[in-house]
Structure 1
Amino acid sequence: MDSIIFDLDGTIWDPIDTVLFAWNRCIKNYSEIKRELTRTDLEDTMGLQLQDLSKQLFPYLDEELRMKVVTECCDLEMGYLQKQGGKLYPNVEYVLSVLSKKYKLFIVSNCQDGYIESFYEYHNLEKYFFDYENPGRTGLTKGENIKLIINRNNLISPIYVGDTEGDLNAARYAGIPFVYAKYGFGQVGEYDKVITKFDDLLNI
């Protein structure tokens, strides 16, 4: 193993409380939306790309309006994340500092352009990562973005750490081992290794 590629939401941090506040503030501007979102609503969309996320949250809106709403919500959320951040899982920075001395670390997340940068900016963790990618920049799936990171950085033996079935499928698509972050948002039935807390990565 020469490198570790991480998912972000549900793996390194929990941003939902900040994101939920921003999204509910944004959707108040739309009379077509019948109710505020809940934390459970957002937890159930973790790992989805924006188009699928919009269908799940607002299935009663037409596609054009759905995408307009989620785009505006995402733009607003990044401002809040830059100022308030999310909740890092326990000992994240310590674990990253230890791992980064032995492995190259990366992030591949199904998020919009600017989201990972907001995470970096508030929590000051960019120094531990070599590179990152997301569909907001490339238009590619998570599996394709993992392969892009592998090829761009000449990785020989990476693993992927994530918390959802989509993360598992992306790792399988890229042909690399999958480590399931069981403490995150998703339920995964198949994995190569499992961690119940972020610190467990030090023992793999």
Structure 2
Amino acid sequence: MTTQMTDGITYEGESFQICGCNGPEFFDPKEHGLNPKAPSTACYRGWVGEYIVTDRLFLRDLYVFHDAGLPVKNKTANGPVIGGVAPTKPESWGGFNCFYKDLNFSTSFSGGLLIASGFVRELAVNMGYHPFWKYTRVIELLFEDGKLLEASDKSSVAQEIREKHLVPGFLNRPSLSDDQAVMKWIEDSFSLRYSLVGAP
């Protein structure tokens, strides 16, 4: 298992990672003619977005490994034009073959996002996505039909949950002898669904 690449997001001029999502997918590459495949074990879904929040949520840039079915084609920027933007080949970034710069796709997302910065390196686990409580700064953004409704600082909540997780044992990993608990832990590690109360 490998730590997964996370989507980035710019909010109020600062860079964050998206580490939690309650709501539907807010961008689906397949709806735009892309066939994303994993370029490596660090990105099983095959794509990574860079978002920006103004009064709305926009997908600014998109990195994707578009599988055109032929190895030779897959070495080039072979994806379709999206919203008037043609892909270019990224300069050695994650194994992707298509980079859509300044796509600026307006989303219609309704739900909550947790964005975070200040990752606590001592809590690194080489599997799945890092949950929000492993970051020192956490902000929850609430959207309706892509429009930003509310932003609230959840850093203290993350700290409380982080401290609870460190009490039962190192990173709260389940016993390897408990197959069911291990499978749930793995499943949770690859999900971005979040809860701001108790253990994620």
Q: TM-score, normalization: structure 2? A: 0.30
Greater per-residue helix proportion: 1
- Rg larger for: 2
Larger RCO: 1 or 2 (CA < 8 Å, sep 6+):
1
Taking structure 1 as the reference length, what is the TM-score of the superposition? 0.30
Structure 1 or 2: larger strand share? Answer: 2
